[in-house]
Amino acid sequence: MPYRAPVSDITFCLDHVVGFDRVTAHDRFAEATGDVVTAILTEAGRICEDVIAPLNRAGDLHPAKLENGVVRTSPGYGDGYHALAEAGFMAISADPEYGGLGLPHTITTAVNEMIGGACLALELSPLMTQGQIEALEHHAPDAIKDLYLPKLTSGEWSGTMNLTEPQAGSDVGALTTKAVDNGDGTYAVSGQKIYISWGDNDFTENVVHLVLARLPDAPAGTKGISLFLVPKKIPDADGNPGVANSLKVVSLEHKLGLHGSPTCVMQYDNATGWLIGQENKGMAAMFTMMNNARLGVAVQGVSVADAAYQHALAYAVERKQGRTKGETGTIIDHADVRRMLMEMKAETFAARAMALDLAVAIDLATTGDGAADARAAFLTPIAKAYGTETGIKVANIGIQIHGGMGYIEETGAAQYARDVRVAAIYEGTNGIQAMDLVGRKLMDGGDAAFALLDEVEAAGGEFADVIRPMAKALRKTTEDILALDMEDRFGGAVPYLMAFARVLGAHYHAKAAATGDKARKAMAQYHITRLLPEAHAMMAQARCGSAGLHDLTPDELAA
């Protein structure tokens, strides 16, 4: 079925749920007028529907390939990439000094959702480049900025980030890639990296890698990691791609989904690189890129959820099966099918609103708003985990609505589930996000958490009497979590995060319902009466901590 870009749904969230007008009220973003935003979202939606969406199935059926050391991308991907680049969608929020539009990150987030809904495998490429641009803007010396940022911003060059190694997954501090000072301002970088999304392609002039490596005699662990910029081709005196650097794609990893996205094993053999940021401070620089990517990954979950919902809805209104009491004679008249569709739509709305709420907080933080900065930090792990879990859940329900046909690849329903599954793993697994939430994000004594709950409890509307008690219960649970040692916090971290997502989701739905729109009220009613009660069980699990989790030995678990 044709993909429909959710321009109106996104615009509704911006106008009525997340308070985007607070961003545009600042001089920094004065150019993001209503007309400008509408024009950008409308054009992005058109390109996604007409150019990008047709590539989704083609990329799944005809994956990227490595031929004689050269990556060959899926049919049409180059055309799709260039359509996005020419429209300026690679760097909506980048610094205008280097060719960016300087618009709020919220707009980038909205556009990325539509690109991901149209073709998630291709959307990964601009997402990586956007993160690299932000890292270089904050941490690179001026000479690097002047050379690389215009090329990355225009889309002539693309960017990646290289963290993971075969022996060092989430434990980045265990990496062994090394960098040796060449004495001329460059470094020789050697080592192997895995899971490098879009580590190479055949449609940009150059691919620029940000690589974590360890200098000689650097401290152990993450405190001894530095960040290096390592281009595929070393720019010449005129800034054009010159000689090939000593790096290569060893192989492409065979993935469950996202077949159109070449995920590379990269080998660096004394490759020429430049230090970004300070020595042994590479994680601080890389986290600039990773935090950007965590919001981006949350949005990928929303992207797939929305696309899977559209696919399932189109099937439900056409498929005739069994007897129904409705007028259509198709399965959409079955109560259980309606339940599944309502759940898909309610979860997708809540996850979208949360991602846009986070994006608004990030934009406000750039204006010096300390409260917004704290809000953004606290929302990041919740948005990433809930957004990606929503993508997985909704895609799975979509298969169920299709019945047996959902399990048949030709219908396309299964691709959504395969493509989105990895989103709960990369940029920090959802378990790591939850541990970050109950650990680092509660180091303020719960101030950021309580500020969000204050907002929820103060809200009025017809659903306040249901939501407010749940928010108060979550406040008490937060206080209980703060009293636990870290091991017990970690044992209940995931259900605590999901309970917070449930309460915030209800809050967003209530704000939408307050507009008086009949459909929004119906969705709020569904979420608040059927999904919000799950938070009670989640909070009970969170308070259990780690009790019982280590009662069985490995041998007993295997028995």
Q: Is 487 a catalytic residue?
A: no
Query: What crossing angle do the helices spanning 447-458 and 370-402 adopt, rounded to 10°?
Result: 70
Q: Is 247 helix (H, G, I), strand (E, B) or coil?
A: strand
Work out whether strand 263-276 and strand 187-197 pair parallel, antiparallel, or are unpaired.
antiparallel
**8 A C-beta contact, residue 88 and residue 277:** no
**8 A C-beta contact, residue 103 and residue 14:** no
Phi-psi region of 528 (alpha: psi -120 to 50; beta: other; left: phi over 0): alpha
Rounded to a whole number of angstroms, the distance between the first and last alpha carbons of the chain is 48
Query: How is residue 285 written in tokens?
Result: 């620089």
Q: What burial class does residue 546 get, using C-beta atoms within 10 Å of its C-beta: 0-12 exposed, 13-18 middle, 19+ buried?
A: middle
Closest C-alpha among 277, 251, 245 to residue 264 = 251
* 438: number of Cβ within 10 Å: 25
Phi-psi region of 18 (alpha: psi -120 to 50; beta: other; left: phi over 0): alpha
Query: What crossing angle do the helices spanning 464-482 and 493-513 adopt, rounded to 10°?
Result: 160
**8 A C-beta contact, residue 351 and residue 305:** yes
* 188: number of Cβ within 10 Å: 18
Strand partners, 66: 71
Q: What burial class does residue 404 get, using C-beta atoms within 10 Å of its C-beta: 0-12 exposed, 13-18 middle, 19+ buried?
A: exposed
Residues 6+ apart with CB under 8 A from 110: 10, 14, 41, 44, 356, 359
Q: What is the DSSP letter of 165?
A: B
> Helix-strand-coil percent breakdown of the chain, rounded to 5?
60, 15, 30
Closest C-alpha among 345, 298, 344, 372 to residue 512 = 345
Torsion sign across C-alpha atoms 300, 306, 312, 318: negative
Catalytic residue among 427, 462, 479, 487: 427
Q: What burial class does residue 8 get, using C-beta atoms within 10 Å of its C-beta: 0-12 exposed, 13-18 middle, 19+ buried?
A: exposed
Query: Any idea which residues carry the catalytic annotation?
Result: 427
